[in-house]
Amino acid sequence: MFSFQPDRSQYPDVGPDGKFEIDLETGKFLKLWHGPNHPGITGNMSVELTVNGDEVVEGYTHVGYLHRGFEKLMERRTFIQVFPIVCRVCVPEPDFNEYCYAAAVEELAGIEVPEEANWIRTLILEMGRFNSYMMAMGGIAGALGNGVIGQWMTYVRDLMLDRFEELTGARIYHMFILPGGVRAGLPEGFEARMEEVLQTAERYLDDVEKVLFTNAVFKKRTKGVGYIDPKLFESYGVTGPNARAGGVAKDVRKDSPYLVYDQLSFEVPVEQDSDIWARSIVRYRDLRLTIDLIRQILAKMPKGGEVMTSLPNVLHWKIPRGETYIKGESSRGEYGYYLVTDGSGYPRRVNVRGPSYTHAMALLEHLIPGTNIADVAALMVSLHTYPPEIER
Partner 1 sequence: MRDLIEKLTPRYTLGNATYQRADLTFVDVTRDELRALLLELRDKEGFTHLVLLTAVDWIEEGKFQLTYMINNREADQTLGLRLYIDRNDAEGDTIHDIWPTAATYQRELREMFGIAFPGSPRVDEEFILEGWTDMPPYRRDFDTLAYSQQTYVEREGRETHDPRATMKHKMYPEG
Report in angstroms how near the CB of residue 58 gets to partner 1 at its nearest. Answer: 12
Least distance from partner 1 to the Cβ atom of residue 329, Å? 12
DSSP three-state, residue 260: coil
Residue 380 CB, shortest distance to partner 1, in Å, is 16
Residue 67 Cβ vs partner 1, minimum distance, rounded to whole Å = 5
Task: Tell me the three state secondary structure of residue 338.
Answer: strand
Comparison of 149 and 352: residue with beta carbon closer to partner 1: 352
Going by C-alpha positions, the residue among 60, 150, 65, 14 that lies closest to residue 376 is: 60
Nearer to partner 1, 8 or 231 (CB): 231
Comparison of 154 and 235: residue with beta carbon closer to partner 1? 235
Give 41 or 294: the residue with its C-beta nearer to partner 1: 41
To the nearest whole angstrom, how small is the minimum distance from the Cβ of residue 367 to partner 1? 12
Ordered alpha helix ranges (H), 75-171:
79-86, 95-109, 115-143, 147-168
Q: For the CB of residue 199, give the shortest distance to partner 1 in the complex, in Å.
A: 36
Q: Which residues contact 13 (CB under 8 A, 6 or more apart)?
A: 20, 21
> Residue 215 or residue 324: which is nearer to partner 1 going by CB?
324
> Which of 121, 327 has the CB closer to partner 1?
327
Please state the φ and ψ torsions of residue 100, each to the nearest 5 degrees.
-65, -40
Q: Which is nearer to partner 1, 160 or 360 (CB)?
A: 360
Beta carbons of 280 and 382 less than 8 angstroms apart? yes
Overall residue count recorded for the chain in this entry: 392
CA distance 205 to 295: 17
DSSP at 203: H
CA gap 32, 122 in Å, rounded: 43
**Minimum distance from residue 294 beta carbon to partner 1 (Å):** 26
Residue number, 199 or 256, with CB nearest to partner 1: 256
Dihedrals phi, psi of 106, to nearest 5 degrees: -60, -40
User: Which residues of the shown chain bind partner 1 in the complex (CB under 8 A)?
Assistant: 63-64, 67, 69, 71-73, 75-78, 81, 107, 234-237, 239, 250, 255-256, 315, 322-325, 327, 334, 336, 338, 340, 348-349, 351, 353, 357-358, 361-363, 366, 391
- Closest distance to partner 1 from the beta carbon of 317 (Å): 12
CA distance 93 to 128: 6
SS3 assignment, position 283: helix
CB neighbours (10 Å) of residue 349? Answer: 14
Question: Of the candidates 150, 129, 214, which has an alpha carbon nearest to the alpha carbon of residue 381?
Answer: 150
The sheet carrying 55-62 orders its strands as 30-34, 46-52, 55-62
